[in-house]
Structure 1
Amino acid sequence: MTAAPPGTGSGTGALAFDGSGIDGGLYTRVVGWADAAPPWLDRLAADWSAYGLVLFAVLTVCGWARARGAGPVLMARALAAPFAVVAAYAVNSGLKRVIEEVRPCRQLPVRATLEGCPVAGDWSFPSNHAVIAFAAAASLWLVHRRLGAAALAAAVAMAASRVWVGVHYPHDVAAGALVGVLVAVPLTLLAGRAEPLVGRARGGPFGGLLGAGARA
């Protein structure tokens, strides 16, 4: 466990938003559970929180591989998935700068957190990890349902881990999930309209990457 910094977030500014009144009690309870949990569970949660986003990149590649044997609409969506994730991250970054919510580990007198508290000015709302995870899951759901379901389960685990390690309020990850889905779904669906371009590209030099000969 890493000791949480005392006080109300020195250096964050008087206008920084304090989200503790929303679900600070639930956050404190979850951090308490983490403090009392077996070390192996805390290590698993901390490692997943730190490195789990790699899995979403792997699943996105799997989505592309699956789309090679599908129609051009699904391939267009699979190709758009990484861009949808980047777009969701960009929207979320803008929200963070506007809202400027202080991290709970800087705002609340918790005894310790599994992950070191981010520096002052590294805002909490919404959670970038949750945005990335749920944007990837939403895009994958529109490409391949089983991959999307696996990604969704992983996204829920990622969101939960960010609260467990002490760096986010529950409402941070819930909002992050919502932003990820609301940005990724329309962009991925819109990308499906590039079906004619993908169909033509499958007959060209990139046909091997796009699934030349796949059914229309």
Structure 2
Amino acid sequence: MRLALDGRGVDGGLYLRLDHWAQHLPPVLRGAVAAFSAYGLGLLAVLMLAAWWRARRADGTTMARALAVPLCVVLAFAADTLLKGVLQEPRPCQVLPAAPTLEACPLPGDWSLPSNHTVIAFAGAAALWLVDRRLGATALVLAAALGVSRVLVGVHYPHDVALGALVGLAAGYGLGRAAGRGGVLVDRARPGPLRRWLTA
């Protein structure tokens, strides 16, 4: 089933106002926003590595959740991709009279709702929250900033980001909680050949 939604009536006006504002930022800031929007997920990967490093000093449940964060992100991305295929909302930069966007507008068929980047970032943040509260809070700030940046560069409506955040949080938290059941397996593996990777 395909719905072929049209997001212009939801918050197309807000999108255009934000696009206009972004176009009038100083060139250095426009470049910074575009770069962060494109590569900000790399910072999430750094936080994942930090979570694994810290979890070596924690119990098996925490380590199991730390190891599962990348898997949580991949599964959330897969769910998001399926949802995009059902909703089939065109990108705002394809259907609205916006100025040239800070990021190249994706081709038709690359659907807008929900935002992939936002789903990934919030799924990672929710899963990290279950491992380490400080890293999780940092990841949540990163995810929110990344979501905003996806609107500012012109490739998503605000509601794409809002739904992406909800999908990511639900998937990341739910999958992260489930991953904690692997703590028994981690405890069994810690004395063995994987000791250097699972224990400080």
| TM-score tier (shorter) | over 0.9
CA distance in 1, matches of 2:89, 2:136: 31
Match of 1:79 in 2: 67
Distance 1:67 1:51 in 2: 26
Give the aligned partner of residue 69 of structure 1: 57
2:131 aligned counterpart, secondary structure: coil
- Identity among equivalent positions (%) equals 58
Quote the Cα distance in structure 1 between the aligned partners of 2:98 and 2:60. Answer: 52
**Distance in 2 between residues matched to 1:164 and 1:187, nearest whole Å:** 30
Among 173, 183, 190, the residue aligned to 2:171:
183
Partner of residue 47, structure 1: 35
Tell me how far apart the structure 2 counterparts of residues 38 and 155 of structure 1 sit (CA, whole Å): 24
TM-score (ref. length: structure 2): 0.97
- Shift of residue 40 of structure 1? 1.3
Q: In proportion to residue count, which structure has more helix?
A: 2
Is contact 2:56-2:198 (8 Å) kept?
A: yes
Kept in 2, the 8 Å contact 1:67–1:74? The answer is: yes
Letter in 2 for 1:144: D
TM-aligned CA deviation for residue 193 of structure 1: 1.2
- Choose which of 66, 76, 91 in structure 2 pairs with 1:88: 76
Q: What secondary structure, in the 3-state scheme, does the structure 2 residue paired with 1:123 have?
A: coil
5 Å matches for 1:135-214?
135-211=123-199
Distance in structure 2 (CA, Å) of the matches to 1:104 and 1:175 = 15
The TM-score normalised by the length of structure 1 is: 0.90
C-alpha distance in 2 between matches for 1:186 and 1:106:
34
1:193 counterpart letter in structure 2: R
Q: In 2, Cα distance between the equivalents of 1:69 and 1:177?
A: 30
Of the candidates 30, 36, 50, which is equivalent to residue 24 of structure 2? 36
Which runs of no fewer than 5 residues in structure 2 stay unpaired?
none
Would you say how many aligned residue pairs link Structure 1 and Structure 2? 198
| Counterpart AA for 1:136 | G
Shift of 1:107: 1.0
8 Å contact kept, 1:102–1:124: yes
State the 1:16 CA deviation.
3.2
C-alpha contact 1:18 1:107 (8 A) present in aligned 2: no
Give the residue type in structure 1 aligned to 2:169.
V
Alpha-carbon displacement from aligned partner over 1:142-167 (angstroms, at most 9, x marks no partner): 10111111111111110000000000
Query: Per-residue deviation at 1:89?
Result: 0.2
CA contact (8 A) 2:4 2:86 kept: no
Cα distance in 1, alignment partners of residues 24 and 70 from structure 2: 38
- Please list every run of 5 or more consecutive structure 1 residues that lacks an aligned counterpart in the other structure: 1-14
